[in-house]
A = this chain, B = another copy of it.
């Protein structure tokens, strides 16, 4: 029987045996640490699978939001996704030159610009949303459908 450790207050020196596994019990008791690690994993899978569409996570969020909120403005997207206006400019410009979205003058506010998906944009979102759905299931494969729902509900209790 190797290194039976009963007392957390007497840490085993990592220099001695030097296992690749360190004692992470304190960190793993923290919501923040676990949330960051879980997001890191999902984030990687997302990046891999969405590369074929040339979409990063923010890109997908913006397009999906526009699919369900046609004519939304940059300001609305920023407020919803919690990103800063200057950081959305180049992103929207890139979508525009890719022919995925159109910028139309806002009907009532001359300062604002309404963002609309083009037909190719709508097609891309449809495909991307399906890929994301599958990717999510794969990335959280150790969770049952019920657990997955619970996880989402608890996460929303933290940030909503």
Contacts and interface: CB of A to CB of B under 8 A. Distances in A.
B68 A11 contact: yes
A interface, size bucket: 35 or more
A46 B40 CA distance: 18
B140 A158 contact: yes
Contacts of A136: 30-32
Nearest to A148: B31
Main DSSP-derived SS at the A contact region? helix
Interface in A47-73: 57, 61, 64-65, 67-73
Closest 6 CB pairs of A and B: A15-B71, A14-B72, A34-B155, A14-B69, A151-B154, A38-B158
Interface of A: 8, 11-16, 18, 20-43, 46, 57, 61, 64-65, 67-73, 76-77, 79-80, 82, 106-109, 114, 129, 132, 136, 139-140, 142-143, 147-148, 150-152, 154-159
